[in-house]
Amino acid sequence: MGAYDFIIVGAGLSGIDAAYRLKTQLPDCSYTILEARDEIGGTWSFFKFPGVRSDSELTLFGLPWRPWIHDTDMAEARLIQEYIEDAARAEDIDEKIRFGHQVTGISWSSGEQRWTVAVTAHGSVQEYKARFLIACSGYYDYNKPLKAEIPGIENFQGVVAHPQFWPGDLDYADKKVVIIGSGATAITMLPVVAKTASHVTMLQRSPSYVLNLPLSSSVGEWVRRHFSERVAHTINWWRCFLQEHLFVYFCIFFPSVARKLIMQEMKEQLPENIDVNVHFNPKYNLFDQRPCICPDGDFFRALHQDNCDIVTDHIETVVADGIITKSGAKLEADIIVTATGLHVHIFGGITPIVDGQPVDVGTRYSWRGAMITGVPNAGAVIGYTKNSWTLGADASVKLLIKVWKHMTKIGATSVMPIHTRADLPSSKPVVGHSSTYFVTAQGRLPRITGESPWYGRKNTIYDHLKLWFGSVTKGMQYTIPSKKMD
């Protein structure tokens, strides 16, 4: 058993970033990282489905303090994992990681003013103590995908594969493949699988927006050739930041114009036999759900191939050799891929125990998108869903460090958000996203009211303004030995 000032759960992008911020901003504090798996990388070492890659530019999606040096802006998972490993090694963060340490329980004692973290490690049960807990384990369950009701799936005589548990020996060459889904995973997989499969059909219940972005930026490449690595990274970071934010907020503030422009762009890239109004005309506005990205238009180019098509319909039933849709069409298949989403949760799906009492996270409030009412000395790191995730995760960690510094300044041993108003029925989930897997997770997510400080991740500009000038005492209860400070 070890005792630390901080325990970070998870060694993905967010966890490595949190460790770096602790190392540089709180150098006198001790910390360790508990990682359930045997390697660094989180999502980028976990998913193995064909074509797995980022759908954000790595200049922004990468670590703010570690330049992305590759020419490709939307990189494959292998490169991202290597990048995270290199960053951790360069900062000696890798030495702080305890691999194969699966957190199974977290319990706070007000008497001790400490967390006890229960861990299963290499067949043994262990305990660690921490003054502060930072959950960087992502927002989805690694062991359980979103459960999708597919009628008759038990009748199928072929292979059913889920992207989250992709079989390493699955050979789809010369096979008929149906990919169920319309999100980023389906958009990513289709052009890769279509290279060797005899036929690929993407079957979706409802359409998504698909944006064609360049795999590499010619401007970014020019900047990297003419400036030092650090200067080039700074220039490209601001270039990408401004481009992303201008586009996102143009779409949010002018949704009708944005829809018209994107619909026209998609129509120009589709083959004539695919109707954009049927297959690429979502009912929601841009960024109510995150749009899908296809680098260099690979998804649209695949749809021009004879062995690739898209169907927008509902499933009537699955039969031995394919799928029957509600309209009566039969989609023959040797392989069905269920790219139907993720099972969303926070704190790794673990229920926090505070002084012996379980805390139902779904009935608590989010304090500035970083802490939860009734849970002392703990942060759940959540990134942005409209902008690059890592920017939001980094903003969360910086805020938690500011809270810690205030605790130290006033001599407090713990801090906990307190919300006294009974407005739970009118509250909303902390992530305002209309994707199915977020909608079905509403009962597992903390709530927000929209009033400060009970809000979630906003955007980089807002969150940093609040970081610099916002209060870390509003809505917070600090505990000082023999004294409480609100």
Model pLDDT for residues 149-182, shown as the tens digit of each residue? 899 999 999 999 999 999 999 999 999 999 999 9
Q: Is the pLDDT of residue 423 over 90?
A: no
Q: Is the pLDDT of residue 424 over 80?
A: no
**Over the stretch 3-12, which tens digit does the pLDDT of each residue have?**
999 999 999 9
pLDDT at res. 433:
72
**Over the stretch 441-481, which tens digit does the pLDDT of each residue have?**
788 889 999 899 999 888 899 999 999 999 999 999 999 98
The model's confidence at residue 439, banded by pLDDT at 50, 70 and 90, is confident
pLDDT at res. 483:
56
Worst-scoring range by mean pLDDT, 186-195, 324-333, 385-394? 385-394
The model's confidence at residue 1, banded by pLDDT at 50, 70 and 90, is low
Q: Name every residue whose Cβ is closer than 8 Å to that of residue 221 and which is 6 or more positions away in sequence.
A: 71
**Over the stretch 365-418, which tens digit does the pLDDT of each residue have?**
999 999 999 999 999 998 888 888 999 999 999 999 999 999 999 999 999 999
Instruction: Give the residue-averaged pLDDT of 342-351.
Output: 89
Q: Is the pLDDT of residue 485 over 80?
A: no
Cα separation, 386 vs 442, in Å, equals 18
Mean pLDDT estimate for the chain = 93
Cα separation, 114 vs 370, in Å, equals 19
Count of beta carbons in the 10 Å neighbourhood of residue 333: 27
The SS3 call for residue 435 is coil
Nearest CA among 427, 373, 435 for reference residue 140: 435
Are 370 and 214 contacting, i.e. CB atoms less than 8 angstroms apart? no
Burial class of 270 by CB neighbour count within 10 A (0 to 12, 13 to 18, 19+): middle
pTM: 0.94
- Angle between helix axes 255-269 and 229-253 (nearest 10 degrees) is 110
pLDDT at res. 438:
77
Name the percent of the chain lying above pLDDT 90. Answer: 80
Instruction: Give the residue-averaged pLDDT of 309-335.
Output: 97
**Over the stretch 262-303, which tens digit does the pLDDT of each residue have?**
999 999 999 999 999 999 999 999 998 889 999 999 999 999
**Over the stretch 217-249, which tens digit does the pLDDT of each residue have?**
899 999 999 999 889 999 999 999 999 999 999
426-439 burial: b if 16+ Cβ within 10 Å, else e: ebebbbebebbbbe
Cα separation, 374 vs 179, in Å, equals 42
Rounded CA Rg of the chain: 23
**Over the stretch 78-120, which tens digit does the pLDDT of each residue have?**
999 999 999 999 999 999 999 999 999 999 999 999 999 999 9
The model's confidence at residue 440, banded by pLDDT at 50, 70 and 90, is confident
Cα separation, 74 vs 78, in Å, equals 12
Residue 326 is given by DSSP the state T
Q: Is the pLDDT of residue 344 over 90?
A: no
DSSP 357-390: EE--GGGSBEETTTEETT-TTEEE----SSS-HH
pLDDT at res. 274:
96
Q: Is the pLDDT of residue 436 over 80?
A: no
